[in-house]
Amino acid sequence: MEDTININVELQDGSRVTLEAPTDMGLSVMEVMKANELNVPAICGGMAICATCHVEVLQSGELPEPSDDEAYMLETLPHATATSRLSCQLKVKPELDGLVVRLMPEA
Amino acid sequence: MITTDICIVGAGPVGLFAVFEAGLLKMRCHVVDALPVVGGQLAEIYPKKPIYDIPGFPSIVAGELVDNLMKQIEPFHPTFTLGERVETLDKQEDGSFVVKTSEGTEISCKVVAIAGGLGSFEPRKPAIESLESFEGKGVSYMVRDPEVFRSKRIVVAGGGDSALDWTIYLAGLAEELTLVHRGSTFRGAPESAEKVLSMAEEGHIKLLLKSNVTDVHGNGKLDAVTVLIDNETEHKIEVDYFIPLFGLVPKLGPLENWGLELEKGAIVVNTLDYSTNIEGVFAIGDINTYPGKLKLILCGFHESALMAQSAYNIIYPDKKYVLKYTTVNGIQELT
């Protein structure tokens, strides 16, 4: 489908799944993972305050910079890496097609 | 000992509205919250954000919704214990409960309604093997009494405001303080960051950037930590205390030990009345789960009303529940 992209997620056990995500519904990557019943607590629901949707981006095109709130939260996380993101803050857009992320320990 | 009909755990919007629904049925409520203010997430996390899905309000700022709810429940004179976290639940022989808080406050009640939202905010722990076995034996996730650290060797880990602030404060007390930060810069308050950097330059503290604490050592009591610098060099530091400060994460906390049926960190309820597996204990709002659950304030309001109906049957077993419309009866103040 034209308005659908693929997002690849490496799970806690190392296996990978490919999720189809619609680009026209204003969803975040976190919401797509939850809708596919992946084990992502995302307790706060997408406000960038709990980091229980923390992912490491393994492969992507250019991503928008983290907002101050997201950057600050990432800074406080013990396991964050240089490409860590909060998946609730990544909006599903055509540019994200082929994105590969790994679920992190906080998630 | 505080005595009430319903002890409501959580002073967020759903907990507050439960006071209203209970009040209509002449049930008294005592509300406990770990935060020092009422409003839960609405007060603590997004007080200035507009909410658009409260029926009848095209838009209402979160803080204002809390103010309105407080006004709405005023006639029912609820009482509050704020800034204390509920710890234990004890069922009494007569079927009533005693709820005890972190500060030792005891609440005797016939019904408990858990409206705990996300849970309470607890320190986020780094994944270091055997870290937990040193808790209270050299590892601590917060600073309660700074004097404990006087003339001690301390490693602080983290890069947020609390890591910076405590580093500055404890540096004046400690014999030796090392701050370990994963990043190469600090995003926290610029004044604190500058102060920490200059303290490191002047040799008051040791600052290890692009570093992580990866291991803790000791025989019954912490005596050293391993720091991985730049992902390549391992460095062992002898310490008395290790203080990881990585912010807070919402957790169910002590509620986990109440014997409630849980699923993915939420309390399983029967949608008939949002009762839990413990008779007399209900869970409403974001903290519960059931097939089709939506974490919305408006769903929590609905759940409060149904919970109150069942609570009434427990508290007044000899009286018949009758639905009363406020348009017909108005609001009768509880005296």
Our CA-based measurement puts residue B126 at a distance from the nearest CA of chain A, in whole angstroms, of 5
pLDDT, tens digit only, all 335 positions of chain B: 999 999 999 999 999 999 999 999 999 999 999 999 999 989 988 899 999 999 999 999 999 999 999 999 999 999 999 999 999 999 999 999 999 999 999 999 999 999 999 898 888 888 898 999 999 999 999 888 999 999 999 999 998 888 999 999 999 999 999 999 988 888 778 899 999 999 999 999 999 999 999 999 999 999 999 999 998 999 999 999 999 998 888 888 899 999 999 998 899 999 999 999 999 999 999 999 999 999 999 999 999 999 999 999 999 999 999 888 999 989 999 98
Count CB atoms within 10 A of the CB of residue A3.
10
* Residues of chain A with C-beta less than 8 angstroms from the C-beta of B125: 78
Do you know the residue count of chain B? 335
Compute the distance between CA of residue A21 and CA of residue A92 in angstroms, rounded to an integer: 7
Q: Please tell me if residue B126 touches chain A, with a CB cutoff of 8 Å.
A: yes
* Residues of chain B with C-beta less than 8 angstroms from the C-beta of A73: 247
Compute the distance between CA of residue B178 and CA of residue B80 in angstroms, rounded to an integer: 42
What pLDDT score was predicted for residue A107? 60
Can you tell me the ipTM of this complex? 0.75
Residue positions forming the annotated binding site of B: 33, 41, 46, 86, 121, 286, 327
Say whether B166 sits in a helix, a strand or coil: helix
**Domains detected in chain B:** 2-122+249-329 (3.50.50.60), 125-246 (3.50.50.60)
In this predicted structure, the answer to whether residue A106 has a pLDDT above a threshold of 80 is no
Tokens standing for residue B101: 């808080």
Which residue's structure tokens are 């069942």? B310
Q: How confident is the model at residue A69 (pLDDT cuts 50, 70, 90)?
A: confident
Cβ(B154)–Cβ(B174) under 8 Å? yes
Q: Which residues of A touch B (CB under 8 A)?
A: 41, 43-45, 47, 49-52, 68, 71-73, 75-80, 105-106
Between A and B, how many CB-CB pairs are < 8 A?
Answer: 60
- Rg over CA atoms, chain A: 12
Compute the distance between CA of residue B50 and CA of residue B65 in angstroms, rounded to an integer: 9
| C-beta atoms of A78 and B182 within 8 A | yes
What pLDDT score was predicted for residue B161? 86
**Domains detected in chain A:** 4-103 (3.10.20.30)
10 Å CB burial of residue B40 (0-12, 13-18, 19+) is buried
DSSP single-letter state for residue B51? E
Q: Which residues of B303-312 are buried (b: 16+ CB within 10 A; e: fewer)?
A: bbbbbbebbb
What pLDDT score was predicted for residue A76? 82
Tokens standing for residue B253: 């906390």
**Pick from A44, A73, A78: CB nearest B118:** A44
Cβ(B29)–Cβ(B312) under 8 Å? no
Binding-face residues of B in 209-238 toward A, CB within 8 A: 212
DSSP single-letter state for residue B320? P
What pLDDT score was predicted for residue A2? 67
Compute the distance between CA of residue B150 and CA of residue B10 in angstroms, rounded to an integer: 37
* Residues of chain B with C-beta less than 8 angstroms from the C-beta of A105: 127
Residue in B42, B15, B43 with CA at minimum distance from that of residue B30: B15
Nearest CA in chain B to A79: B126
Q: How confident is the model at residue A75 (pLDDT cuts 50, 70, 90)?
A: confident
In this predicted structure, the answer to whether residue A77 has a pLDDT above a threshold of 60 is yes
Compute the distance between CA of residue A19 and CA of residue A21 in angstroms, rounded to an integer: 6
Q: Over range A78-99, report the average pLDDT.
A: 93
Q: Please tell me if residue B142 touches chain A, with a CB cutoff of 8 Å.
A: no
Compute the distance between CA of residue A56 and CA of residue A63 in angstroms, rounded to an integer: 13
**Residue type at B227 in one-letter notation:** V
**Pick from B160, B264, B265: CB nearest A76:** B160
**Pick from A47, A52, A105: CB nearest B127:** A105
Compute the distance between CA of residue B307 and CA of residue B272 in angstroms, rounded to an integer: 9
**What's the predicted TM-score (pTM) here?**
0.81
Return the higher-pLDDT residue of A80 and B166. B166
Say whether B71 sits in a helix, a strand or coil: helix
Question: Which residues are paired to B155 by β-bridges?
Answer: B178, B242
Nearest CA in chain A to B263: A41
| C-beta atoms of B265 and A41 within 8 A | yes
Our CA-based measurement puts residue A38 at a distance from the nearest CA of chain B, in whole angstroms, of 12
Question: Which residues are paired to A85 by β-bridges?
Answer: A55
Cβ(A9)–Cβ(A16) under 8 Å? yes
The vertex-B293 CA angle with B291 and B297, nearest 5°, equals 165
Q: Chain B interface, mutation test: which of A39, A40, A43, most B Cβ atoms within 10 Å?
A: A43
What pLDDT score was predicted for residue B248? 82
| C-beta atoms of A50 and B246 within 8 A | no
Rama region for B286: left / alpha / beta (φ>0; ψ in -120 to 50; rest):
alpha
Compute the distance between CA of residue B250 and CA of residue B122 in angstroms, rounded to an integer: 6
Q: Over range A16-36, report the average pLDDT.
A: 95
What pLDDT score was predicted for residue B44? 83
SS (H, E, C) chain A: CCCEEEEEEECCCCCEEEEEEECCCCCEHHHHHHHCCCCCCCCCCCCCCCCCCEEEEEECCCCCCCCHHHHHHHHHCCCCCCCEEEHHHCECCHHHCCEEEEECCCC
Q: Over range A80-87, report the average pLDDT.
A: 93
Q: How confident is the model at residue A1 (pLDDT cuts 50, 70, 90)?
A: low
